[in-house]
Amino acid sequence: MSTTHKPQTKTNHPKRPPPLVQEDMQKYQLAVEHASDHIVITDPDGIILYANRAVEKITGFPPSEIMGTKAGVKWGKRMKHEAYTHLWNEIKHHKLQFHGEFQNVRKNGEMYTAEAKIAPVLDAQGEVLYFVGIERDVTQLREVDRMKTEFISLASHQLRTPLSAMKWFLEMLLDGDLGDLSTEQMNMLRNINASNERMIDLVNTLLDISRIESGRLVIDAVPTDITELVTGLRHELEPLMQAKNQTLTIAIADNLPQVTIDPRLIRQVYMNLLTNAVKYSAHSTTITVHVFVKEGMIISTVQDQGYGIDVSEREHIFEKFYRAKSAVKAEAEGSGLGLYLVKSIVETSGGTMWLESEPWQGSSFSFSLPIR
Ligand code: ADP
């Protein structure tokens, strides 16, 4: 009898774990059965084949009521049709893992928020054998988030009133309404005024963030001429750029169509990116704004020749309160909230935001806006 042994060659297949013995199988079974997250295994049509104990604990439905039914039908009634179709398309046709958050309903009618991950398990031919759905009840976490957002919103509102009063009185003093002041007194008041303005900006940013996070941001979209909006910023940026002897180049494609956007918010996006480009670049550098149309979107890019962002820090740059180490050294002033707000505004307006950067060779922040 002859047996053919395959030569030991390197393959691209991941190394298989050693076969499971009965004892290991029991351990895995127990771990899945007692996991605190809800775990469901379904066939390729989503029909439940297995549900662990947490499923009953979280949804309230005992296994006898859900085995053989389609996953999520009993507890996930709130999902919109388009979202449901998108989910199935992702996991069944594209065979990708889905990660999302749902508003579900327990058997007793109580609503809860579930963070869900659904992954297809494929056979050797790449066909779907099963789906594994893991859901975590994040109701309490989301409630804490909501309370935090509400607190920030309340605190910002309360802070705005005294800051506005200070601004008003400072302007009166600076205008000489209460008599002449010495140069030293004027300089000091100007510094106080600048700090007060920064505080007002910060409070307004916090208010906008809390509005976005709580879904209360009202987008007042009107047909807008981007060319006019962008060129109008030059005048406002002049004092900042002159102080650093920087140059602003604006390159806008001809015949840019009008877009239906909220001009106040999108203006804030450009201003934030441009003031960052000024702040995080050396003297005598050039900042360039490109605006053009690509695949039904208006693409805007703000490019600088500044300090750039290290690879290791790039993935955090749009996070709330994140500031790169180099930036903190070069520019002490900053909250790390601007880019978070900018990205949220762009996404709420139907666009996306991305960044290209090399340390010490400049950064290029881009965002897209749908034309329709
Ligand atoms: P802030 O400027 O108030 O710190 P932002 O949210 O606007 O906050 O920016 C977050 C961080 O991203 C900045 O602290 C800085 O590290 C980095 N950053 C933003 N824009 C640039 C830029 N054009 N060049 C280099 N780094 C930048």
Q: Which atom of ligand 1 is nearest to the CA of 337?
A: 6
121 three-state secondary structure = strand
Answer with the residue of higher pLDDT: 12 or 355.
355
Q: Residue 339 C-alpha to ligand 1 middle, in angstroms? A: 7
Mean pLDDT, all residues of the chain: 90
Pocket lining for ligand 1, CB < 6 angstroms: 272, 276-277, 280, 304, 306-309, 317, 322-324, 327, 334-340, 363
Class of residue 311 by CB neighbours under 10 A (exposed 0-12, middle 13-18, buried 19+)? exposed
Backbone angles phi, psi at 194, to 5 degrees: -65, -40
* Residue whose CB lies within 8 A of the most ligand 1 atoms, among 201, 202, 271, 280, for a mutation test: 280
Please tell me the predicted confidence (pLDDT) of residue 41.
Answer: 96
Instruction: Return the percentage of the chain with pLDDT > 70, whole number.
Output: 95
Average pLDDT of span 95-116: 93
d(CA 370, CA 372) in angstroms, rounded, equals 5
226-283, pLDDT tens digit by residue?
A: 999 999 999 999 999 999 999 999 999 998 999 999 999 999 999 999 999 999 999 9
What is the 355 CA–ligand 1 centroid distance (Å)?
11
pLDDT in tens, 345-371: 999 999 999 999 887 889 999 999 998
Q: Quick one: which atom of ligand 1 is closest to the CA of 272?
A: 7
Q: pLDDT tens for residues 38-50?
A: 999 999 999 999 9
User: Are 352 and 367 within 8 A, CB to CB?
Assistant: yes
Measured from the Cα of 306, ligand 1's closest atom is 24
In tens, the pLDDT along 108-144 reads 999 999 999 999 999 999 999 999 999 999 999 999 9
Q: How far is the CA of 338 from the centre of ligand 1 (A)?
A: 8
Q: Answer whether 0.95 is exceeded by the pTM.
A: no
Query: What is the per-residue pLDDT for 305?
Result: 95
